[in-house]
């Protein structure tokens, strides 16, 4: 019997800790995770902190917490450990140099001693000469200071002397580089359009390209699923795999997340302008103290964010839109990911949130709103207790997108109105309304405090109004105005129940006095 051993799928999410994890990064992580789970593979987390100048304290913890919040579990890597530790590239630093030097001894890379000024001068010169490829490449490297043009002794002397240098990849002059992207199919690029990329920086740190390829190989990554912004450098990565003589993993380049309106990819600024979060969690900048809002703090449920994110660039091809994480894992396939950029429509996220909110039980929601940090101390919902919260949930559940709106949307539940909507008052506050108020006030007195329920109130008020010759429908809006100060809102009878007999009576008296 023949046993076919297939390599276990291993994917990785490899963010760099330069700030809070962008929501697009969360989507990338999610797709990696879904694919890994679907295939019974492993999900790794690697921290790509090779740029020491951009390191931001707290960013790594933020990444871990954000992934945890949305429910992405890491099998191996930073935070959980594993056989390929360390998983932080800065801690793997010595390794990369070895690999870079290996390429040099194989003739696939070289030392370059050019200073930033010299490079700028070269670029400027080429620009003026209107040369197409204004880059360090097979042609221009012959005019620069590197281990190809300089005599061997000179190179050795410079290194021994401690001169700054970088290691660059020797990109072939004319070669067709092709690879098959899972989402984009064949991608073909000519090597002449790629420059001799720096592999090892003068500070001894690798660039993204080197570190990424070395680590993916060492960590036995089988599928690289990343954003489309990496597509142009994928041929370079293929070249690197070739130079090392390693087998390249499969690639899948995800469509970009686009601005909700207009053109361009989603950026931090869009969140500020559009008044919606762009990060999974709230983030306080450690340098400026500036606070960026998060989906979590805005009141989004992680299920909703996951569902929303899953559909940003992917679609199951059916009409089903609501997916739990487990259902996503079942359904997800890379070939259903589209090529076109996905527009970041926050309204859709709200739609999902509303859906998941409605799925929650009243009890769950009640304890949620009891837990909400109170923006306005006078509301003091916690003091009002569990039963009150439960009633509020019954009143508001169908009307809100976020649980905190069950409080914020109904200030009149907490405070006696002092001003009354003028438009409504003008059209609805008339003799009938005045008469109705006294009828209502009186009939309410007959209800026992304990029995002051929406049903009882309804059954008492409506017949009383009718008996007084008033059409209930005609004065209900006025009654609402009296109780809430505004013309629209949740179920009135239930509102009355929540307010209680004494408060309702008081409000009627107040309103009659103010409205005259």
CB 299 within 8 A of CB 402: yes
User: Is residue 333 near RNA by the rule CB under 7 A?
Assistant: no
* Calpha distance 240→118 (Å, rounded): 26
Out of 345, 370, 468, 515, the only residue in the binding site for RNA (CB under 7 A) is: 345
- Minimal distance, residue 147 CB to RNA, in Å: 14
Out of 263, 275, 288, 450, the only residue in the binding site for RNA (CB under 7 A) is: 263
**402: phi > 0 → left, psi -120 to 50 → alpha, else beta; which?**
beta
Cβ closest to RNA, residue 8 vs residue 164: 164
Q: Write out the binding residues for RNA, residues 141-160 only, by CB under 7 A.
A: none
Out of 170, 391, 480, 507, the only residue in the binding site for RNA (CB under 7 A) is: 480
Out of 85, 91, 115, 364, the only residue in the binding site for RNA (CB under 7 A) is: 115
Out of 93, 360, 399, 434, the only residue in the binding site for RNA (CB under 7 A) is: 399
CA distances from 123 to 92, 175, 201, 236 (A): 33, 23, 19, 21
- Closest Cα to residue 244, out of 213, 219, 200, 204? 213
Cβ closest to RNA, residue 243 vs residue 476: 476
CB 434 within 8 A of CB 425: no
Cβ closest to RNA, residue 373 vs residue 426: 426
Stretch that binds RNA, among 276-284, 377-385, 433-441, 491-499 (CB under 7 A): 491-499
User: Is residue 114 near RNA by the rule CB under 7 A?
Assistant: yes
* Calpha distance 137→6 (Å, rounded): 39
3-state helix, strand, coil split of the chain in percent (to 5) is 50, 10, 35
Out of 240, 381, 492, 508, the only residue in the binding site for RNA (CB under 7 A) is: 492
Q: How many CB atoms lie within 10 A of CB 350?
A: 18
Cβ closest to RNA, residue 55 vs residue 297: 55
* Catalytic residue numbers, as ranges: 268
Out of 83, 151, 469, 473, the only residue in the binding site for RNA (CB under 7 A) is: 473
Q: Write out the binding residues for RNA, residues 30-89 only, by CB under 7 A.
A: 48, 50-51, 54
Residues binding RNA: number (CB under 7 A):
76
Q: Write out the binding residues for RNA, residues 161-220 only, by CB under 7 A.
A: 164, 166, 184, 187-190, 193, 195, 198, 201-203, 205, 207-208
CB 453 within 8 A of CB 390: no
User: Is residue 463 near RNA by the rule CB under 7 A?
Assistant: no
In 3-state terms, what secondary structure has residue 317? coil
- Minimal distance, residue 375 CB to RNA, in Å: 22
User: Is residue 232 near RNA by the rule CB under 7 A?
Assistant: yes
């Amino acid at each position: 019997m023949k046993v076919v051993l297939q390599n276990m799928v291993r994917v990785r999410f490899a963010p760099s800790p330069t700030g809070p994890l962008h929501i697009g990064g969360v989507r990338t992580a999610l797709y990696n995770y879904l694919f890994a789970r679907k295939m019974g593979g492993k999900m790794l987390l690697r921290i790509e902190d090779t740029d020491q100048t951009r390191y931001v304290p707290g960013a790594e913890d933020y990444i871990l917490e954000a992934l945890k919040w949305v429910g992405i579990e890491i099998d191996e890597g930073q935070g959980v450990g594993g056989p390929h530790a360390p998983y932080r590239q800065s801690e793997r630093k010595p390794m990369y140099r070895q690999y870079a030097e290996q390429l040099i001894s194989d003739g696939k890379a070289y030392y370059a001693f050019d200073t930033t000024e010299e490079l700028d001068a070269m670029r400027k010169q080429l620009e003026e000469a209107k040369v197409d490829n204004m880059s360090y490449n097979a042609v221009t490297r012959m005019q620069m200071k590197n281990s190809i043009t300089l005599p061997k002794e000179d190179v050795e002397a410079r290194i021994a002397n401690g001169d700054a240098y970088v290691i660059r990849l020797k990109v072939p002059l004319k070669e067709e580089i092709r690879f098959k992207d899972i989402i984009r199919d064949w991608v073909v690029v000519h090597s002449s359009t790629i420059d001799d990329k720096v592999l090892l920086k003068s500070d001894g740190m690798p660039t993204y390209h080197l570190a990424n390829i070395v680590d993916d190989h060492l960590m036995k990554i089988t599928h690289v699923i990343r954003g489309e912004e990496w597509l142009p450098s994928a041929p370079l990565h293929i070249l690197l795999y070739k130079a090392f003589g390693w087998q390249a993993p499969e690639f899948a380049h995800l469509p970009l997340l686009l601005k909700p309106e207009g053109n361009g990819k989603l950026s931090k600024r869009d969140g500020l302008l559009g008044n919606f979060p762009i990060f999974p969690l709230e983030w306080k900048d450690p340098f400026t103290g500036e606070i960026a809002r998060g989906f979590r703090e805005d009141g989004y449920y992680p299920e909703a964010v996951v569902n929303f994110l899953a559909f940003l660039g992917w679609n199951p091809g059916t009409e089903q839109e609501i997916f739990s994480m487990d259902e996503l894992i079942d359904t997800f396939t890379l070939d259903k990911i589209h090529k076109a950029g996905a527009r970041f429509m926050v309204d859709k996220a709200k739609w999902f949130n509303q859906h998941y909110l409605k799925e929650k039980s009243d009890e769950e929601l009640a304890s949620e709103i009891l837990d909400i940090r109170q923006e306005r101390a006078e509301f003091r919902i916690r003091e009002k207790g569990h039963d009150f919260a439960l009633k509020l949930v019954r009143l508001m559940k169908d009307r809100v997108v976020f649980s905190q709106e069950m409080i914020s949307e109904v200030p009149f539940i907490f405070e006696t109105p002092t001003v009354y909507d003028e438009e409504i008052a003008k059209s609805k506050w008339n003799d009938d309304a005045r008469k109705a108020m006294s009828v209502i006030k009186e009939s309410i007195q007959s209800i026992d405090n304990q029995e002051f329920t929406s049903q009882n109130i309804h059954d008492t008020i409506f017949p009383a109004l009718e008996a007084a010759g008033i059409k209930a429908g005609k004065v209900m809006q006025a009654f609402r105005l009296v109780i809430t100060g505004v013309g629209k809102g949740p179920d009135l009878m239930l509102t009355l129940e929540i307010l209680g007999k004494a408060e309702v009576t008081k409000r009627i008296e107040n309103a009659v006095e103010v409205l005259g």
